[in-house]
């Protein structure tokens, strides 16, 4: 899951065609950030700080993800944390270095770190929304499925893997629940000892009664 590096508005989107760019289009996403705005790690990874012009990008903080993709944060005024970082760590501060028309943050996600394979950072963010950390609360009960099919997942997210299903009228026992991002998830341990989650409340998977 990912968060925005800054909370400022987008002023120039990925993919805008222009001969000013080597690839013929804008390879990143620009945020209207004033100088000195803290830039936060979008997700867990490893950060390097690259001072200098860097081909017009100015001072850059690169965030390498576990899958090998690299996110460039350009035109920085100074560095933040380097090395291993977690989501939300400050990895730099916005500026106006390099070939820049004014203070802003340019964010560019490169597939496999390849500068010839930039991808839409904004689209990636929307596909990997932030998950608000939640605490599991112990509470036992029995729930009854009230729809034809109910998904059972391996984590408390509607984007997580479906590992089983229940049919209408079936019941199951739960030993705890989690509330996160407006969703309530009833939880129990499977026969294999792994935790399972069923959505209830404020969700398109509101199929259970008797919970909590």
pLDDT digits (tens, 9 = 90+) for 135-159: 778 888 888 887 788 889 988 887 7
Highest-scoring range by mean pLDDT, 20-24, 97-101, 206-210 = 97-101
Cut 0.85: pTM above it: no
Spatial distance between the Cα atoms of 197 and 134, rounded to a whole number of angstroms: 13
* 88-143: pLDDT as tens digits: 899 999 999 999 989 999 999 999 999 888 999 999 888 876 655 567 788 888 88
For residues 174 and 198, the answer to whether their CB atoms sit within 8 Å is yes
| Per-residue pLDDT, 14 | 93
Concatenated DSSP letters of 136-182: -EEEEEEEEE-SSEEEEESSSSTTSPEEEEEETT-EEEEEEEEEETT
């Amino acid at each position: 899951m990912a968060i925005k590096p800054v909370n400022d508005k987008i002023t120039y989107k990925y993919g805008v065609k222009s001969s000013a760019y080597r690839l013929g289009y804008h390879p990143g996403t620009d945020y209207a950030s004033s100088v000195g705005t803290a830039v936060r790690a979008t997700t867990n990874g490893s950060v390097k700080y690259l001072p200098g012009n860097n081909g017009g990008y100015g001072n850059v903080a690169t965030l390498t993800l576990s899958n090998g993709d690299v996110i460039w944060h350009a035109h920085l005024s100074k560095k933040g944390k380097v090395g291993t970082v977690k989501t939300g760590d400050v990895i730099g501060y916005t500026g106006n270095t390099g070939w820049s028309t004014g203070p802003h943050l340019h964010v560019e996600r490169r597939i496999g770190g390849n500068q010839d394979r930039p991808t839409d950072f904004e689209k990636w963010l929307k596909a990997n929304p932030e998950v608000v950390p939640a605490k599991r609360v112990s509470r036992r009960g029995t729930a009854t499925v009230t729809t034809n099919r109910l998904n059972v997942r391996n984590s408390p997210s509607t984007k997580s893997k479906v590992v089983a299903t229940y049919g209408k009228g079936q019941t199951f026992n739960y030993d705890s629940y989690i509330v996160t991002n407006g969703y309530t998830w009833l939880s129990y341990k499977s026969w294999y000892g792994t935790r399972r989650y069923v959505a209830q409340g404020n969700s398109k998977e509101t199929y259970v009664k008797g919970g909590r």
